[in-house]
């Protein structure tokens, strides 16, 4: 996917922000000279804000491009390492599958241990030809206020069908099926991490054969107001297959990206002023629209 092409990186900062910046009081009756001076001042301010807008736009475009590049690199890296991992023996795999050792594991080849479907791979020598469900593992942080929570909010609806305490981890493991089952074969195992109880490890088996329930039916307008939403949500334009494969990396990158961008932007006083102006400008624009509608 081309991340940058989906975003209108214009922050729309110059939509009537000046009056609000200059004066909070409602506009008064002015003389012609003061109006003229104010117009000139507004024009300068408009130029300045436009320049800032342009600069921010460039910054965002660069960041989006970097994000796309890094994401592609990570995808390549994980794919190659998974291929290598598939060559490891069953025993070795069991040992290395300790959930605490990895942050995010995506396994497109489905080399994980899944024997419950009755297709015993150990009895069939040509196991590389057996189609196994895709297995991916995702870490997610739970609500700190709810210590017993084994809920991973991934947008899909799940039905819990079992819970078990496993040997390697004192916290129980919960078993979920997609609520679209038996039509949808996807299963999910959720268990808290041994090392950090605030982190739950969700292991997904299979692929959803239905649209994402929380996914909007069509792409939202790419305005500045939707910018952060775009960065924190999965891209609605990427295919379902890509969505499944990229989801774990995407979450981590989005989290990092949003945090980094937020900290960078909040340190910039110019950005704060511009943001305030943009928001105020929006309000003013809305008020103007309402007034116009009322007048009509």
Closest approach of Cβ 13 to DNA, in Å? 44
Give the residue with the Cβ less far from DNA, 35 or 166. Answer: 166
56's tokens: 């921010």
- Cβ-based nearer residue to DNA, 105 or 246: 105
Output the CA torsion 287→288→290→293 (10° steps). Answer: 180
Of the two residues 181 and 199, which places its CB atom closer to DNA in the complex?
A: 181
Nearer to DNA by C-beta: 166 or 289?
166
CA 95 to chain centroid = 31
CA atoms within 13 A on the CB side of 58: 5
Cβ proximity to DNA: between 163 and 290 the closer is: 163
Closer residue to DNA in complex, CB, 115/292: 115
Residues in Cβ contact with 224 at an 8 Å cutoff, skipping those fewer than 6 apart:
8, 10, 11, 12, 13, 278
| Of 152, 154, 155, nearest in space to 173 by CA | 152
Whole-number Å distance between alpha carbons of 281 and 42: 13
- Report in angstroms how near the CB of residue 58 gets to DNA at its nearest: 47
**At closest approach, how far in Å is the CB of 196 from DNA?**
20
CA separation for the pair 136, 40 (Å, rounded) = 60
Judged by CB, which is closer to DNA: 4, or 114?
A: 114
C-beta of 191: minimal distance to DNA in Å? 8
Q: How far is the CB of 83 from DNA (least distance, A)?
A: 22
CA gap 272, 270 in Å, rounded: 5
Which residue number, 147 or 160, has a Cβ lying nearer to DNA? 160
Contacting positions for DNA (CB under 7 A): 90-91, 113, 115-118, 120-123, 158-164, 166-168, 173-175, 179, 187, 189
Kindly state the tokens that stand for 92. 């070795």
**Angle of CA points 143, 254, 82, to nearest 5°:** 95
Q: How far is the CB of 249 from DNA (least distance, A)?
A: 23
In angstroms, give the least distance from the CB of 149 to DNA: 10
H or E element that contains 134:
none
**Residue 101: Cβ within 10 Å count:** 10
CB 174, CB 151: distance < 8 Å = no
């Amino acid at each position: 996917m081309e991340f940058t092409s989906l975003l209108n990186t214009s922050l729309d900062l110059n939509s009537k922000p000046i009056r609000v910046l200059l004066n909070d009081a409602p506009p008064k009756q002015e003389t012609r000279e003061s109006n003229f001076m104010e117009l000139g001042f507004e024009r300068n301010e408009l130029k300045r804000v436009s320049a800032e807008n342009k600069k921010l736009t460039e910054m965002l475009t660069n960041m989006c491009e970097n994000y796309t590049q890094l994401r592609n690199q990570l995808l390549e890296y994980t794919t190659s390492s998974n291929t290598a991992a598939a060559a490891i023996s069953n025993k070795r795999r069991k040992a290395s599958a300790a959930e605490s050792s990895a942050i995010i594991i995506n396994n497109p080849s489905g080399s994980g241990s899944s024997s419950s479907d009755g297709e015993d791979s150990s009895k069939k020598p040509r196991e590389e030809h057996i189609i196994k469900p895709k297995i991916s593992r995702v870490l997610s942080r739970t609500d700190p206020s709810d210590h017993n929570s084994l809920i991973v909010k991934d947008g899909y609806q799940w039905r819990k069908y079992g819970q078990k305490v496993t040997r390697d981890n004192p916290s129980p493991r919960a078993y979920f099926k997609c609520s679209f089952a038996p039509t949808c074969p996807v299963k999910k195992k959720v268990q808290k991490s041994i090392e950090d109880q605030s982190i739950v490890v969700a292991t997904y088996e299979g692929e959803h054969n239905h649209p994402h329930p929380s996914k909007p039916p069509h792409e939202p307008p790419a305005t500045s107001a939707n910018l952060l939403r775009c960065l924190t949500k999965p891209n609605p334009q990427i295919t379902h297959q890509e969505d499944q494969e990229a989801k774990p990396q995407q979450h981590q990158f989005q989290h990092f990206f949003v945090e980094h961008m937020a900290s960078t932007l909040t340190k910039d006083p110019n950005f704060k002023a511009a943001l305030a102006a943009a928001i105020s400008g929006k309000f003013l624009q809305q008020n103007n629209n309402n007034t116009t509608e009322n007048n009509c």
